[in-house]
Structures are given as C-alpha cells and as structure tokens.
Amino acid sequence: MQYLKLNDGHRIPANGFGDFQVPDTKECADAVREAIKTGYNFIDTAEMYDNEDQTGKGIKASGIDRDKLFVETKIWETNFQYDDAKNAIDKSLKDLGLNYVNMFLIHWPHGEYDQAWRAMIEAHQAGKLKSIGVSNFSSQQIVDLIKKFGVKPAVNQIKINPWDQKHDEVKWLEDHNIVPEAWSPFAEGRHNAFHDPTLGKIAKAHGKSNSQVILRWLYQRGIVSLAKTVHPQYMKENFDIYSFKLTPSEMKTINNIQ
C-alpha cells in the first residue's frame, strides 16, 4: 500500500474500498471484511449510505488492528446545524463501533455546512476525528471555509474518472496542499469503462484490466481512488495497482479521452 501525506501531518492510503450503494446488511459487512482480507486498509462510508453499522460489523469481523485501518465517513446535510452535527459525529462513531475515525467529511456543500465544519473542528481537537475534509466542494467554497475558520480541509473528495478528469480542480487542490480523492473512478458504469478500447489497449500491454489502468492513472496523478465492488475477485484486481506503471505516453492517451 502506498500513502499520500495530508496537510495535518497524517497519511492517507492511496486507494480505498467504498461501500456506497451496499445497504444490504450482511452483504455490506461481508464486503468490508473481504476487502480488508484482500489487503485494503482504507474503508470509505457515509451517514447517507445507511450502512455505517454494517461497515463497523465488517471491520470488527476482520480482526484488523485499529491502528492499521483508515476509516472515512461523511456527514449528511440534514445534520449540518451545529448541535445536530455534534450528535451526528457521535452517532457515526457509535454505529461504526469506533472511538475515532481517520477522516470525516462534509458530504455536499448544501445548506449551512459551515456550522457542521465548526462542530467537526471541535471534534477533531477532541481526538474523535483525526482529520477533517470536504466532498464535492468548489475551490471558492473551500476558500470561504478557510477564511471563516482558519482550518484547511485535508482532502476534497470529488468525481474524477477518464471522462470527467478535472485537471484544473486537481491542480488547484495540489497547489493548496489539499489531497484530491476520486469517487466514481469507473464513471458509475457509464462510457463502457470496463470495455473501452483505448483503455483496453493499454491494459493489454500490461496484462491488466481496464479498471486497474484507471486506478493506476489516478494514482500517478496523485489522486486517492475509491473503488466499490462486492465481488472478491474484483477487490483483488482493484487492489493490485502497484505492480505496473503507465508510461508518459499512456498517461497522455488517457488524459485525452473525451
């Protein structure tokens, strides 16, 4: 596993397992346990996914030492009011069965998210949240948050894939020492991602799959990736992105995908 350094001194694994749209109780817990067994030490979930409790059960069943696991979750907009946010943080910890999470994000910049940020800063100072960040924020929204509170988000989780590459946004985040995270690296099944011929040619040259090429492309751009699957064979595939390297020409080819 490779890591990226965060602006608060902590580290974040370069690729993680996400459990979005895995609400089924047993399936979610089993998937999380299997992902950890595969080698993942980064689990991404959210209050809105309605499966934090099952994520916690999967973590517990895995038997992994807590200090070897990076857990990330997110607060939903219905709990952005200050007191609601404080309660939501505690509920997430309770549902996950953890004393702290490694990363806690504002899921979307809707409503009075600044109140949630204030509660998150306090929870961070109390040790409940090791790092705090945002998701789906624009650069201006991040600037406004920093100006108001003086605390910079450690990450911004945004949609990034070969058909939505966000080069300008990623550069801005890098320039401001904020790690970009990519959700939907496979474009939510659109654009024929797993069978795209351009990606397929590159994948064949390395003896890898399209999904591995996409995740490796993100890694070489300095972007944390989050892949979701409930199938053990694909977990293993998505985890294996460090045994090959894309050439500058291959990176350019992917960067030119429309």
**How far is the C-alpha of 126 from the C-alpha of 158, rounded, in Å?**
27
Query: What domain range is 46 assigned to?
Result: 3-188+215-238
Task: Decide if 168 is inside a domain.
Answer: yes
Q: Is the residue at 60 inside a domain? A: yes
Domain count, the chain: 1
Burial 96-134 (b: 16+ CB within 10 A, else e): bebebbbbbbbbbbeeebbbbbbbbeebbeeebbbbbbb
10 is in an annotated binding site: no
Report if residue 99 sits inside a domain. Answer: yes
Which residue type is seen at 94? Answer: K
Residue 71 domain-assigned (yes or no): yes
Asked whether residue 75 is domain-assigned, the answer is yes
pLDDT classification of 23: cutoffs 50, 70, 90: low
Round to whole Å and give the CA distance between 73 and 133: 10
For the annotated catalytic residues, the residue numbers are 49
Q: Tell me, yes or no, whether 37 lies in a domain.
A: yes
Rounded to the nearest angstrom, the gap between the alpha carbon of residue 90 and the centroid of all alpha carbons in its chain is 21
The three-state secondary structure class of 46 is coil
The model's pLDDT over 40-51, given as tens digits with 9 standing for 90+, comes to: 999 999 999 999
Amino acid at 174: E
Residue pLDDT, tens place only, 93-106: 999 999 999 999 99
> The domain that contains 42 carries what CATH number?
3.20.20.100
- pLDDT of 4 > 70? The answer is yes
SS3 string, 48-103, reads HHCCHHHHHHHHHHHCCCHHHCEEEEEECHHHCCHHHHHHHHHHHHHHHCCCCEEE
CA angle, corner 198, sides to 196 and 204, nearest 5? 90
Query: Is residue 162 situated within a structural domain?
Result: yes
Within a domain: residue 107?
Answer: yes
pLDDT digits (tens, 9 = 90+) for 38-85: 999 999 999 999 999 999 999 999 999 999 999 999 999 999 999 999
